[in-house]
Structure formats: structure tokens, C-alpha cells
Amino acid sequence: MIRGLREIEPYVAGSQPQGKRIIKLNTNENAYPPSPKVADALKAFDSADLRKYSTLTQEELRQSLSAHLGVAADQIILGNGSDDILSMAFLAFFNNDEPILFPDLTYGFYKVWANLYDIAYREVPLTSQFEIAPSDYQTLNGGLVVANPNAPTGIYKPLDELEKIIQANQDVVVIIDEAYINFGGKTALPLLEKYKNVFITRTFSKDASLAGLRVGYGVGSPELIKVIEAVKNSLNPYAVDSIAEKLALAAVDDWDYYSNNCQKIMEIRDWFTKELAAIGFEVLPSSANFVLVKPTLAAQELFQYLQTKNIYVRYFPRVERIKDYLRISIGRQEEMEKVIMIIQEVVS
């Protein structure tokens, strides 16, 4: 018997099935490849540079993001994916006795970090329409986390509604997770001028087709950035590797390419939503690159049937409120046409 071992219920990430012929719609990866400029930057990377440590503060990438987003460079911190940023933000910002609040249905990792770091939390139920109700966030709390658009619902909260939550909670940090913001939502970045307690997280994984590169960032007041930098320097100062920094820089430089892809994904999403609705499936209104769907047959049955056709989607049997739903990422048009065809076969 070994003493001192940690017991923890981990976050269960979506599976990563391998193979060329599969249609992978289970972890919201982008349907399109990264920008050709990213491929060029990878070819141009000199492996001799790997002898040295990466930069500590990603000055060049921060400058580029600063110009791209219209915020000062000292308002940005880079990390090893936005999971890294969020995890550090929990450590940096949630040191109150009162519980932090987040919706009962949201990114599953929030609860895992709260447990891992012994942060008290309370899950606030979404409305019956799977909406965040600002009035539910007006109680004493130790901080808030809101994904906008939310996951796995895909539902976007308009900024004036989101601002009501922020306005009522100016003495704690409000984290806004914008992993899916470029698929139809409006960013909360302009609110940073007014509220020094807002921290926005972003990732290159979804809109920039770079999930495997592991780059994410946080944006907030210089005061908040200093605190989270101190946490970063207490954990893993070189969290962003040299290759990732160069490739992310190339991605920001070719943002028109990505805007265009996001636009295409939104069009495919809206087409796919209409097709599913015509079959009789209930589809939540999504502003993300996935849809949450309630099929006319059992979710588990459809999930398994799709898998026999090499189509992988996400099924949450242990999450009571959505155990009858499937989350389907939006792939390329021909992939989604195939999904519709197979669903039509199974329901007819």
C-alpha cells in the first residue's frame, strides 16, 4: 500500500480514433487544414533552434495578436492550448471562500479543475431552453466561468445579456471562454475597456485548425495578466514551444483564410441544421462549429449505428440533461451530406 496518492475523477476527452476513412465529428476540430502559410512556416523552421528554450513571453506573437485583436500586448498571455490558460486562470483568480459559479451544462473541464484545485463551486442550471439566465448569477460568489458560445449546447449569449452578469459581479473575476467565438458570435473583447475583472480565453484549436499544435491565449487587464503570469512562472514558464509560436504567428498573419473557412463552416452548419430538422430531429440553435441534436431514435442507438459507418460523434450518457442528445461537429459539406444520407436510411 503506497500512501499519499491522489484520487481524482479526470476530464474524459473525446476519443481520437485513427484512420483515413473515418469521418471524425466528435471533438469539434476544424473541417479544413491549417493555412498554407502555416505549412510554409513549418518547412522553414530550423531544427537547430530547438537547442534553445522557447521564448518566455512570446513577444512577437503577442504583438501580432495585439494588432489583430485591437488590445495592448500587455493584456495577452499565451499558453499550451486554452486548457492550459483556463487551468492557470482557475489557480490565479479563484482564491475566495465563496463558491465559483458556472452553468450545469458547460465545458466539462471547469468542474475537474475546481475539484483538482479544491475550489468550491456551484453549478447553475441552464433554463429549460438550455439558456444562461443572467439573474441566476447575482448571488454572492467567488468568481464566474461562462463559455460563449456555450458548449456543448452551441448557444450564444448576446453581449448586453453577458454584460448584466459582469456588471453584477465586478468584485470577482469573470472568465469568458471564447473557444467558438468566430463561428457567429460577437466577442466580449470591447467589454475589457470597461471591466478590469473580465478575462477572455481563446484557442487556435477550433477556428484556426491547429488543435494538435496546442496554442491558446487569455486577454484581460494588465493587472490580471500579471497575476496569471506569476502562476505560469510557478508551473511551466516555457509552456509554449518554439515551433508552436512560429506556426501560430503564421496563422494570425493569414486570418483572411480562416475567416473564410469559418464562414463556410457556418453555412454548412445552417444547412445541416435544416436537414436534421426536416427529418424531425430537434437541433439547438448553434453559433459554434457543432450542433447538439436530439434524434427521433435513441441517442445511443444512432451513436452506435454511425460508428459502424465509420462516423464518430459525441455522446454523453452520463450527463443526465443531455443523455438523449448527440453532439455533432460540423465537417466538410460532403461529409455532412453522408451523415444526412445515413440518418435518412436509419429513420426510414
- Interface mask (CB under 6 A) for ligand PLP, residues 63-92, using x and -? ------------------xxx---------
Min dist CB 90 to ligand PLP, Å, is 12
Residue 179 binds ligand PLP, judged by CB under 6 A: yes
Nearest-angstrom CA–CA distance, 325 and 133 = 22
Q: Where are the beta strands (DSSP E) in 228-274?
A: none
Three-state DSSP class for residue 214: coil
- Interface mask (CB under 6 A) for ligand PLP, residues 283-322, using x and -? ----------------------------------------
Nearest-angstrom CA–CA distance, 184 and 154 = 10
Min dist CB 85 to ligand PLP, Å, is 8
Residue 211 binds ligand PLP, judged by CB under 6 A: yes
Nearer to ligand PLP by C-beta: 30 or 242? 30
With CB under 6 A as the contact rule, the residue among 31, 147, 224, 283 that binds ligand PLP is 147
Nearer to ligand PLP by C-beta: 151 or 219? 151
User: Could you say which DSSP state residue 79 is in?
Assistant: E
Residue 254 burial (10 A CB sphere; 0-12, 13-18, 19+):
middle
With CB under 6 A as the contact rule, the residue among 134, 184, 216, 331 that binds ligand PLP is 216
Residue 148 binds ligand PLP, judged by CB under 6 A: no
What residue type is 324 in one-letter code? D
Contact 43, 193 (CB under 8 A): no
Nearest to 330 by CA among 32, 1, 103, 108: 32
Q: Where are the beta strands (DSSP E) in 237-279?
A: none
288 to each of 101, 127, 140, 155, how far by Cα in Å? 23, 19, 31, 8
Rg (CA), the chain: 20
Min dist CB 177 to ligand PLP, Å, is 5
Identify whether 149 is preceded by a cis peptide bond (ω within 30 of 0). Answer: yes
- Interface mask (CB under 6 A) for ligand PLP, residues 16-35, using x and -? ------------x-------
Report helix angle 255-279 to 242-253, nearest 10: 80
Nearer to ligand PLP by C-beta: 141 or 203? 203
Residue 295 burial (10 A CB sphere; 0-12, 13-18, 19+):
buried
With CB under 6 A as the contact rule, the residue among 69, 89, 126, 151 that binds ligand PLP is 151
Residue 270 burial (10 A CB sphere; 0-12, 13-18, 19+):
middle
Residues 6+ apart with CB under 8 A from 203: 81, 82, 179, 215, 216, 217
Return the range that interacts with ligand PLP (CB under 6 A); candidates 31-39, 199-207, 291-299, 314-322. Answer: 199-207
Nearest-angstrom CA–CA distance, 78 and 245 = 9
Nearer to ligand PLP by C-beta: 103 or 295? 103
Residue 107 binds ligand PLP, judged by CB under 6 A: yes
Nearer to ligand PLP by C-beta: 35 or 80? 80
Nearer to ligand PLP by C-beta: 54 or 167? 54
Report helix angle 333-347 to 255-279, nearest 10: 10
Instruction: Note the maximum CA span of the chain.
Output: 60
Residue 205 binds ligand PLP, judged by CB under 6 A: yes
Min dist CB 20 to ligand PLP, Å, is 23
Nearer to ligand PLP by C-beta: 151 or 251? 151
Residue 197 binds ligand PLP, judged by CB under 6 A: no
Nearer to ligand PLP by C-beta: 143 or 342? 143
Q: Return the residues of window 224-283 that contact ligand PLP according to CB under 6 A.
A: none
Binding footprint of ligand PLP on the chain (CB under 6 A) = 28, 81-83, 107, 147, 151, 177, 179, 203, 205-206, 211, 216
